[in-house]
Amino acid sequence: MGKIESNPKAILDLDRTVHEPARLAILTVLASAEEVAFLFLQRVTGLSKGNLSSHTQKLEAAGYLATVKAFQGRIPVTSFRITEDGRVALHAYHQQLRALLPKEGKP
Amino acid sequence: MTTPDLDALSATTREYAAFQSRKSGLATALGGLMAIVLVLAALSPNYMGAHVLDRLAIEYLVWVPMLWLGLKWALGRVLYRGLGTVKAAPDSAYERRRWYWILGLALFLLAMSLAALYAFALGFLQPNPSRAAICPPPMWLLLMPLLYLLPMPWLIRGIEEARVFAVLVGQCILWLVPLFLFSFGPSNPANHEWTVTGHLAMTAYLVLIFLIQIWGALAMIRGWKEHRQYLALLRSLPREA
């Protein structure tokens, strides 16, 4: 527990917007592609429509994702893109988490 | 939701996006099948009342690459977009390789067109110019290479698709060149003796046809495997909440 012992407040510095599992999953999926349809995001994360909408709204409010609304024929289609801020936040979160975890081979 | 396996989520997204950007699945298998059928149809006697490498048969067969492009597009829409559109992250190295294929095919088509024109001028036009006025070769055939080339930047999305298209187009060019040349030639080629070059050309033709058959069979297997991968990907997704 070297890192946390030396800086116990470090774990509190984690970005709470990203730290929530559903939002972490959403950002991970969005970071793996340029643009992702709502339906795919829902199926791959296993979230309900309502849950997904609520989490994407929070991420959008934080400036981590952008919503793209378009029409395919007459059907409205919603897609999402990760923003540059979102990419930076996700990367920083990974770095912070790695720093907090014990090094391999050490208890 | 359960704690997400982030690597698996990322891999699934990339794989699904790949089927909308570079993988063709069943379209590759269809391309392999069409390559085999194209050879068999062109070589089978009495195909639609035509004989081996007959003009009528070839005039239909030269449209096969365009048919494949249409079917590929339709299959992609119907089979690989069930969960909506996912645009893959841009990959400049892959894009560069795709353009190399397009450029390669363009150079091949240009070389074959020039070779056909050169052979026509040297073998037929020069020795017998009066015949050119009476019985000109089908000039529309010279437009086919351009027709093959035009849709490539938009409709060929991946290396595998470029490979399938190149094989189909290559085959059509193999049929088109003799059609262009021999439609103008003597009406009874049986009277002409076979030269060593002729024998060599025919052997190369047969080897090429044999290789296309093998490639077609492998493409069918590869395409079917890709399709199964896609089905496995769909099965691996969590059930709808």
CA angle B185, B188, B190 (to 5 degrees): 110
Percentage, residues of chain B above pLDDT 70: 81
Q: Which residue has the higher pLDDT, B132 or B40?
A: B40
Q: Is the pLDDT of residue B75 over 90?
A: yes
Return the structure tokens found at B123: 């073998």
Confidence (pLDDT) at A1: 44
Lowest pLDDT segment from A28-42, A92-106, B38-52, B164-178: B38-52
Confidence (pLDDT) at B52: 52
Q: Is the pLDDT of residue B27 over 90?
A: yes
What value does the mean pLDDT of chain B take? 82
End-to-end CA distance of chain A: 7
d(CA A51, CA A63): 18
- pTM, two decimals, is 0.82
Confidence (pLDDT) at A97: 87
Q: Is the pLDDT of residue B123 over 90?
A: no
Q: Is the pLDDT of residue B188 over 60?
A: no
A2 confidence band (pLDDT: 50, 70, 90):
very low
Nearest CA in chain B to A39: B83
Contact B28, A47 (CB under 8 A): no
ipTM reported for the complex, 2 dp? 0.86
Q: Is the pLDDT of residue B184 over 60?
A: no
d(CA B61, CA B70): 15
Lowest pLDDT segment from A40-49, A77-86, B135-144: B135-144
Q: Is the pLDDT of residue B115 over 90?
A: no
Residues 10 to 69 of B: which have CB under 8 A from any A CB?
10-14, 16-17
Residues 43 to 102 of A: which have CB under 8 A from any B CB?
43-49, 51, 77, 79
B240 and chain A: CB distance < 8 Å anywhere? Answer: yes
Strands of the A33-37 sheet, one edge to the other: A65-72, A75-82, A33-37, B86-88
Q: Do A39 and B239 touch (CB under 8 A)?
A: no
CA angle B105, B47, B196 (to 5 degrees): 60
d(CA A23, CA A58): 9
Q: Do B241 and A39 touch (CB under 8 A)?
A: no
pLDDT in tens, B158-175: 899 999 999 999 888 887
Return the structure tokens found at B145: 């290479």
Scanning the structure block, which residue is given the tokens 């299959």? B75
A90 confidence band (pLDDT: 50, 70, 90):
very high
Contact B33, B167 (CB under 8 A): no
Q: Do A45 and B4 touch (CB under 8 A)?
A: yes
d(CA B187, CA B192): 11
Confidence (pLDDT) at B119: 77
Q: Which residue has the higher pLDDT, A32 or B140?
A: A32
Query: Which residues in chain B are contacts of A43 at CB distance < 8 A?
Result: 83, 237-238, 240
Query: Which residues in chain B are contacts of A80 at CB distance < 8 A?
Result: none
- Integer-rounded Cα Rg, in Å, for chain A is 16
Confidence (pLDDT) at B195: 76
Please name the member of B10, B14, B241 whose beta carbon is closest to the beta carbon of A48. Answer: B241
Residue B148, classed as helix, strand or coil, is helix
Nearest CA in chain A to B236: A44
Confidence (pLDDT) at B37: 87
B219 confidence band (pLDDT: 50, 70, 90):
very high
CB pairs under 8 A between A and B: 87
C-alpha distance from B2 to closest chain A C-alpha (Å): 8
Highest mean pLDDT among A34-48, B34-48, B188-202: A34-48
